[in-house]
Amino acid sequence: MDRRTFLKLGGAGAALLGTRATVLAEEAQQQGLSPADLRWSKAPCRFCGTGCGVEVGVRDGRVMAVRGDEKSPVNRGLLCVKGYHLPALLYGGDRLTHPQVRGADGVLKRISWDEAIGLIADRFRAVLKEHGPEAVGMYGSGQWAVFDGYAALKWFKGGLRSNNLEGNARVCMASAVTGFLSQFQSDEPMGCYEDFEKGDDFVLWGNNMAEMHPVLFSRILEHKRTDPDVRIVDIGTRRTPTTDYADLYVEIRPGTDLALANGILHLLLAENRFDLAFLSENAVYKRGIENLEEIGYGCYGAQAERYTFEDKLRDASLDEMRAFLADYTPAQVSAISGVPEAQIRALATLYGDRNRGTVSLWCMGVNQHVRGTWMNNLITDLHLVTGKISRPGANPLSLTGQPSACGTVREVGTLCNRLPADMVVTNPEHRAKAEKIWGLPAGTIPAEPGYHTLDLFRALERGDVKALWIQTTNPWVSLPNLHRYPRKPGDGRFVVVSDIYPTPTTDVADVILPAAAWVEREGCFGNTERRTQHWDKAVEPPGEAREDAWQTIQVAKRMGMGHLFPWPEDDWHRPMFEEYRQFTLGNGHDLASYDQLRATRGLQWPVVDGKETRYRYAAGFDPYVKKERGVEFYKAHGYGDRAAVILRPYQPPAEVPDEEYPMWLCTGRVLEHWHTGSMTRRIRQLHQAVPEAYVEVNRADAVALGLNPGDRVRVVSRRGKVELPIQVDGRGRPPRGSVFIPFFDESRLANLLTLDAMDSISKEPDYKKCAVRLERV
């Protein structure tokens, strides 16, 4: 058929349908609105740490659409499926809209804000009086806006005089924090998203970027389109959608990434690929405690109640490094990791090639790791020894899981040992600076760190912590080894939960507070690349829901701590942000002003004279660097303004498969669901895409067990069991002897199986490695 005939026929068809088309068009016109009929404002996406910019379309007080913000330097208009479905997260039918208290009969009853605030203030006051500041706790979130984290920090450390303040970034990003702190004495990456266009080789360490940071992965793919020489290396324990785009897939045995990284270092040194000039100018060598007996895993014996191991770094040297690396020959490393020697050599060639920019990327695979800090150190070592750091297209860049894990938990410092802008409670000068900015008497802030997250919940279970306030997080789905926390309300403890939907965590709460979400309030998030992004309130929250910071401030005021929050009730965001900003100015952590943040698509700190910094520590980019050329690690005063190359050995995971439990279990996320699914499961399109958790099983293992795809199977670990349908050759394809379960499903809890072993330094739990067996149902 020629085109003329086609056109004629098309026309005939259209004419035929003319009448009906007119009716439809009229119908649609009655309902239809053009984008121009909405009021649009900017906001960062509510979900992951990428920090995509969206424009939020509002009409008649309701969000009706979002679109990718073409002006955002992060995503340039593109979003992922979670981002496009953002607005429905506000409108789930079971939104929490009123404060509730659980009666003695276990039934929730509605109370007023005044009653709720009074009740919480009374209980916290009573616990404080009777048991001291070690018996109260607060567990916040990397999804907290900066204001929420700052209010909590000031109330806890400056008001209650307790350091039992944690954020769920502890179970998500803490190993990256301790990694950067141990090597640069300052948290957060030196690189930025521009590395995705400037780099040549992208090495993904245990990172399913295509699903977890899809828009950033898009930037790499786009770069690869324009420059076919760009290579992606996927180092992982299972094949994922990311593997489909990799030029090289390196499959490692769980936990052996430490051996692999040392193997690459061994070859780089043996083949004279170390950049010795760079090292002698910019680096020192350090070595920590390596005695396995002393370190442990935080989950056995006395460590299972309280885990307080502290690493101590001592001086080392290049010669010591040479001796240390001697054991990590390709043959040895191959025997430990299962990686063919040729692949180890290929990786060494890639990192050692001076003509190519290398970007290392990692997220939960490296961070949720019993030696996560060590692994962070080794990846950064690869960049330090080759001089591939702090320049465009050559950086170690840790990806963040939550929208403000960086901006709130890491930068504001809502962790048991931290204060804002890299400061710690154990340093008297840091405490004095905080007390001065807050106008509090010297000695107000306690010097002893509080409980880290797992110890906080263990202490709650023991009864040592008696009052706990949880905001914007769902620990009764997300904590490992959930059997340890079989909470029943009425156990003498007092648990307050602020959230937007009912969850397994609100199910065990004594008081439930309705929170305002995302654009129902004003906020700031800080993303992976040090970009602080502000958004204005766009719609009213439902019912009586209020933002977390407001809730905290009201309770503080009721407890007589109003002096901490001396700002007008209707205009406190700006003065609070400007007070917080004082912590950051002049020390390389400078945040942009509130007004500048409102006017821009976010800025990357340090922001000096209104200008952002893309590459930290780099001459020509970072205003703090006084050198003409090269780099200056100016935050590392303890190392003479140099970075530390830290020697870290391979040690095995806390639990490995044996005869009784012969398979590895890894847990994680899927593209469609945000963490514990409390928001995304209430969005029809996302729920219907992945309605329930499943267990990915290798085809050969399924055949050996006589199972077909979709059959249900019981996954059993030493701690618990869960029944799930099996998935074979799905989006993730584990090797033989290895299974994977996504953790979003509250009715099929992966965390009933996981082990609460943790990193020795960051105290971040390892959700990625434990032993299980499969049983036919």
d(CA 688, CA 683): 8
Phi first, then psi: what are they for 271, rounded to 5°?
-95, 15
Which of 304, 561, 619, 689 is in the footprint of another protein by CB under 8 A? 689
Q: Is 492 exposed, middle or buried (0-12, 13-18, 19+ CB in 10 A)?
A: exposed
Q: Which of 183, 402, 471, 727 is catalytic?
A: 402
Residue 709 near another protein by CB under 8 A = no
Structure tokens at 450: 């509080």
* Contacts to another protein from residues 165-224, by CB under 8 A: 210, 214-215, 217-219, 221-222, 224
Give the residue with the Cβ less far from another protein, 80 or 397.
80
Residue 128 host element (H or E): helix 113-131
CB 382 within 8 A of CB 278: no
Positive or negative torsion for Cα 625, 627, 633, 638 = negative
Measured CA to CA in angstroms, residue 524 lies from 151, 152, 274, 423 at distances of 13, 15, 41, 21
Which residues are CB-neighbours of 631 under 8 A, at least 6 positions away?
282, 389, 390, 391, 617, 618, 619, 625
CB 394 within 8 A of CB 384: no
Residue 67 near another protein by CB under 8 A = yes
Which residues are CB-neighbours of 560 under 8 A, at least 6 positions away?
none
Give the residue with the Cβ less far from another protein, 39 or 483.
39
Strand partners, 205: 235, 362
Which of 40, 81, 306, 596 is in the footprint of another protein by CB under 8 A? 81
Question: Tokens 């509090």 sit at which residue?
Answer: 440
d(CA 608, CA 301): 50
Question: Tokens 């498969």 sit at which residue?
Answer: 657
Size of the site for another protein (CB under 8 A): 77
Closest approach of another protein to the CB of residue 491, in Å: 29
Closest approach of another protein to the CB of residue 37, in Å: 8
Which of 169, 325, 375, 686 is in the footprint of another protein by CB under 8 A? 686
Which of 18, 132, 490, 662 is in the footprint of another protein by CB under 8 A? 18
Closest approach of another protein to the CB of residue 225, in Å: 5
Strand partners, 286: 315, 646
Residue 24 near another protein by CB under 8 A = yes
Q: Is 708 exposed, middle or buried (0-12, 13-18, 19+ CB in 10 A)?
A: exposed
Which of 48, 52, 56, 79 is in the footprint of another protein by CB under 8 A? 79
The SS3 of residue 330 is helix
* Contacts to another protein from residues 230-269, by CB under 8 A: 241, 245
Active site residue 64: no
Closest approach of another protein to the CB of residue 363, in Å: 17
Q: Which of 48, 52, 299, 364 is catalytic?
A: 364
Which of 431, 452, 681, 763 is in the footprint of another protein by CB under 8 A? 681
Which of 197, 687, 720, 735 is in the footprint of another protein by CB under 8 A? 687
Residue 33 near another protein by CB under 8 A = yes
Residue 3 near another protein by CB under 8 A = yes
Residue 13 near another protein by CB under 8 A = yes
Active site residue 71: no
Which of 248, 437, 561, 671 is in the footprint of another protein by CB under 8 A? 671
Rounded (10°) angle between helices 341-352 and 257-270: 60
Positive or negative torsion for Cα 534, 540, 545, 546 = positive
Q: Which of 42, 82, 154, 769 is catalytic?
A: 82
What is the pattern of x (binds another protein, CB under 8 A) and - over residues 82-121?
--xx-xx-xxxxx---------------------------
Give the residue with the Cβ less far from another protein, 346 or 671.
671
Closest residue by Cα to residue 253 from 738, 629, 777, 752: 738
Q: Which of 45, 52, 80, 173 is catalytic?
A: 173
Give the residue with the Cβ less far from another protein, 15 or 331.
15
Q: How many CB atoms lie within 10 A of CB 181?
A: 22
Q: Which of 48, 52, 138, 172 is catalytic?
A: 172
Q: Which one of the spans 81-89, 462-470, 606-614, 721-729 is the region binding another protein (CB under 8 A)?
A: 81-89
Residue 64 near another protein by CB under 8 A = yes
CB 264 within 8 A of CB 729: no
Closest approach of another protein to the CB of residue 671, in Å: 7
Residue 409 near another protein by CB under 8 A = no
Q: For 322-359, b where at least 16 C-beta lie within 10 A, e where not — what string?
A: eebbeebbbebbbebbbbeeebbebbbebbbeeebbbb
Give the residue with the Cβ less far from another protein, 68 or 263.
68
Active site residue 364: yes
Closest approach of another protein to the CB of residue 731, in Å: 8
Strand partners, 66: 56
Residue 229 near another protein by CB under 8 A = no
Q: How many CB atoms lie within 10 A of CB 20?
A: 9
Give the residue with the Cβ less far from another protein, 684 or 776.
684
* Contacts to another protein from residues 731-760, by CB under 8 A: 731
Residue 77 near another protein by CB under 8 A = yes
Q: Which one of the spans 104-112, 316-324, 376-384, 676-684 is the region binding another protein (CB under 8 A)?
A: 676-684
Residue 92 carries which side chain, given as an amino acid letter?
Answer: G
Structure tokens at 221: 């793919």
Closest approach of another protein to the CB of residue 239, in Å: 15
CA 147 to chain centre: 18
Give the residue with the Cβ less far from another protein, 119 or 741.
741
Give the residue with the Cβ less far from another protein, 586 or 730.
730
* Contacts to another protein from residues 35-54, by CB under 8 A: 35-36, 38
Active site residue 401: yes
For the chain, the first-to-last Cα distance in angstroms comes to 58
Closest approach of another protein to the CB of residue 180, in Å: 29
Structure tokens at 175: 């190993």
Which of 682, 719, 733, 763 is in the footprint of another protein by CB under 8 A? 682
Residue 663 host element (H or E): strand 663-668
Q: Which residues are catalytic?
A: 82, 172-173, 364, 401-402
